């Protein structure tokens, strides 16, 4: 199964005084109401107002260490090495925040090619770039939305738009690397969540690997993120890339894709995976189940399901 959700606030002010647009809290409510669709892991791709720095969230290891008695030492060494490599790749490190013992968020001043920087960081064994961009932050971990939301203090996260995912693992491991959302490596500020199965995963993975892309997991959903990144690097817009994906990707899927100023959904030609849409003047909310939309909107609303082969994109 798996549950996906997305929310985009359409008014231009992401910081109202009354505390609305608490993106993190809204997303947690939506994902928690869909916990039955996937209790294995929960992930968020949240967007704040673009900052002047490049924000890179880096995972140094998986929580707990699996009985590794040198785990803490290992994490410390990796953190030092990552920091050194960021500098060596030409980035000026403005600050590094320790999100938890195995995740850091680095604010960087960097003008070069993002792929070069990301590859440099990931050449540290065990390190993985979860997200990179001026507005995007990907937060993912094991457990339900309340657990992850509380552990990463997302309740007060104020943002403009975002997507989320609750995962029921089917064909790859239950760990942070295999959790959604996926960053569209190496494209800044693009992320994807997916509900479904892709049947030509290996074909596309080989194709994209030959073009120099890296894969952080064995999860079929990661293909979508990397595929979109490839199409966009060839000059296509987000919407064009999504439309092409309907022909190129086989299987059953509904996915939501976000960039720094847009949020879009695509549904396969069989319409085999659900999605419910609410389009209001103030916000657009979409989720696998209407229950999730009702978790953030208390008044009566009109919702509908998009049809097969549909691609829709909303911009802020």
What are the residue numbers of the active site? 2
Euclidean distance between CA atoms 2 and 86, whole angstroms: 35
Residue from 290, 312, 313, 316 that binds other proteins (CB under 8 A)?
Answer: 290
Choose the binding region for other proteins from 62-70, 91-99, 136-144, 297-305 (rule: CB under 8 A). Answer: 297-305
Q: Is 252 in the site for other proteins (CB under 8 A)?
A: no
**What part of residues 139-198 is at the interface with other proteins (CB under 8 A)?**
none
Q: 3-state class of 237 per DSSP?
A: coil
Q: Does 308 bind other proteins (CB under 8 A)?
A: yes
Tell whether residue 37 is a contact of other proteins (CB under 8 A). Answer: no
Binding residue for other proteins (CB under 8 A) from 293, 296, 311, 314?
A: 293
Among residues 207, 42, 66, which one has the least CA distance to residue 139?
42
Please identify which residue in 289, 296, 311, 314 interacts with other proteins, judged by CB under 8 A.
289
The stretch among 78-86, 108-116, 252-260, 296-304 that binds other proteins (CB under 8 A) is 296-304
Between CA 107 and CA 137 the distance in angstroms is 11
Query: Is residue 70 at the binding interface for other proteins, with CB under 8 A as the rule?
Result: no
231 touching other proteins, by CB under 8 A: no
User: Do the bridges between strand 41-47 and strand 182-183 make them parallel or antiparallel, or are there none, so unpaired?
Assistant: unpaired
Q: Does 294 bind other proteins (CB under 8 A)?
A: yes
- DSSP letters spanning 274-309: --EEEE-SSEEEEESSHHHHHTT--S----B---TT
Helices and strands (H and E) in the chain: how many: 8, 15
For the beta sheet containing 128-133, the strands, ordered from the edge strand earlier in sequence to the opposite edge, are 92-100, 103-109, 54-59, 128-133
Point out which residues bind other proteins (CB under 8 A): 269-271, 274, 276, 289-291, 293-294, 300, 302-305, 307-308
């Amino acid at each position: 199964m798996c549950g996906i959700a997305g929310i985009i606030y359409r008014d231009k002010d992401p910081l109202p005084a009354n505390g609305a647009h608490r993106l993190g809290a809204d997303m947690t409510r939506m994902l928690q109401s869909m916990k039955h669709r996937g209790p294995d892991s929960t992930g968020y791709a949240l967007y704040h107002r673009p900052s002047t720095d490049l924000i890179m969230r880096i995972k140094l290891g998986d929580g707990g260490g699996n009985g590794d008695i040198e785990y803490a030492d290992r994490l410390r060494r990796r953190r030092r090495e990552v920091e050194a490599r960021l500098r060596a790749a030409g980035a000026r490190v403005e600050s590094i925040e320790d999100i938890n013992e195995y995740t850091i968020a680095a604010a960087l001043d960097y003008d070069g090619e993002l792929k070069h920087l990301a590859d440099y960081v990931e050449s540290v064994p065990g390190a993985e770039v979860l997200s990179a961009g001026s507005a995007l932050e990907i937060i993912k971990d094991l457990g339900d939305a309340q657990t992850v939301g509380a552990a990463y203090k997302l309740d007060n996260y104020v943002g403009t738009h975002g997507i989320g995912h609750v995962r029921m693992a089917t064909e790859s491991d239950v760990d942070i690397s295999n959790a959604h959302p996926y960053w569209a490596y190496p494209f800044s500020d693009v992320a994807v969540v997916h509900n479904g199965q892709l049947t030509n995963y290996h074909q596309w993975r080989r194709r994209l690997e030959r073009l120099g892309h890296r894969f952080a997991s064995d999860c079929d959903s990661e293909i979508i993120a990397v595929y979109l990144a490839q199409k966009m690097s060839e000059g296509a817009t987000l919407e064009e890339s999504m439309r092409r994906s309907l022909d190129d990707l086989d299987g059953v899927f509904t996915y939501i894709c976000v960039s720094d100023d847009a949020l879009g959904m695509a549904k396969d030609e069989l319409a085999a995976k659900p999605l419910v849409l609410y389009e209001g003047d103030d916000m657009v909310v979409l989720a696998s189940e209407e229950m999730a939309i009702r978790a953030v909107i208390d008044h009566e609303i009109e919702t509908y399901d998009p049809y097969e082969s549909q691609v829709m994109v909303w911009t802020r």
